């Protein structure tokens, strides 16, 4: 039997990862983190989706300490979430320092507990908001450290790492779940389900990718299959 843990926010990327994981693992455990995030409606969305899609279990873990330590527009109501700006430089204020370090480490501990061989996360280096903890180099380095620290060969999987957002939409469509991802997930930093507020960086990336896929679905799907080996 093969088990996996999905770091699950209820957003586009993690939901697409869950959809795919359910095709490849016998048991898929979802773990969602409550860190006092501004868009905390995602926790309820994650609960609903994990049940709807058929996850083996769904655990919500309180990590409010992160809210106390990490200053970000996603953890402080007095810091406005910025609109998308194509000319913006540097790391945006939506970055939550240490978030993926903490999430992946805790997910690995949970995987150890439930006997899972993999931790799956939807981070991506191709189309992303400039967060340093979404890079392939970081995930691989942390994976190595975690394996050394727990003496268990738990593998960090990043199925979206080299996909652009259009290809991520194509992946959901490949598994016939595009409508589920479009209408029932929450990616928006302002906490609006589905297509979101339309102004924040997360909404821009999501909408731009969907438009690219809808405009040239065959080309995008072909690219997805070439990158992933899907038939």
Binding site members for Zn(2+): 188, 197, 200, 203
Phi, psi angle pair for 189, to nearest 5°: -65, -20
Binding site members for ATP: 8-18
Q: pLDDT tens across 87-142, in order?
A: 667 788 788 888 999 999 999 999 999 999 999 999 999 876 688 999 999 999 99
d(CA 170, CA 52): 21
First-to-final CA distance of the chain: 24
Q: pLDDT tens across 32-55, in order?
A: 999 888 888 999 999 999 999 999
Question: Are 18 and 185 in contact, with CB atoms under 8 Å apart?
Answer: no
Binding site members: 8-18, 188, 197, 200, 203
- Please state whether the predicted TM-score (pTM) of the whole model is above 0.85: yes
- Buried-state track 133-148, b at ≥16 Cβ within 10 A, e below 16: bbbeebbeebbeebee
Q: Mind listing the domains of the chain with CATH numbers? A: 3-228 (3.40.50.620)
């Amino acid at each position: 039997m093969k088990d996996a843990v999905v770091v699950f926010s209820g957003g586009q990327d993690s939901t697409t990862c869950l959809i795919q994981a359910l095709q490849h693992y016998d048991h898929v455990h979802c773990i969602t983190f409550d860190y006092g995030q501004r868009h905390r409606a995602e926790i309820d969305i994650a609960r609903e989706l994990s049940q709807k899609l058929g996850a083996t279990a769904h655990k919500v873990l309180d990590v409010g300490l992160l809210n106390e330590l990490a200053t970000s527009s996603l953890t402080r109501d007095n810091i406005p979430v910025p609109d998308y700006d194509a000319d913006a430089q540097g790391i945006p204020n939506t970055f939550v320092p240490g978030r993926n370090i903490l999430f992946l480490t805790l997910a690995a501990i949970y995987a150890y507990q439930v006997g899972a061989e993999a931790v799956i996360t939807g981070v991506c280096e191709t189309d992303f908001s400039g967060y340093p903890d979404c890079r392939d180099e970081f995930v691989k380095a942390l994976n190595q450290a975690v394996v050394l620290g727990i003496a268990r060969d738990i593998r960090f999987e990043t199925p979206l790492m080299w996909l652009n957002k259009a290809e991520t939409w194509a992946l959901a469509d490949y598994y016939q779940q595009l409508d589920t991802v479009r209408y029932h997930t929450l990616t928006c930093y302002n906490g609006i389900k589905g297509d979101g507020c339309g102004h924040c960086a997360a909404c821009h990336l999501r909408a731009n990718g969907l438009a690219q896929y809808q405009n040239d679905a065959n080309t995008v799907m072909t690219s997805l299959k070439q990158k992933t080996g899907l038939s």
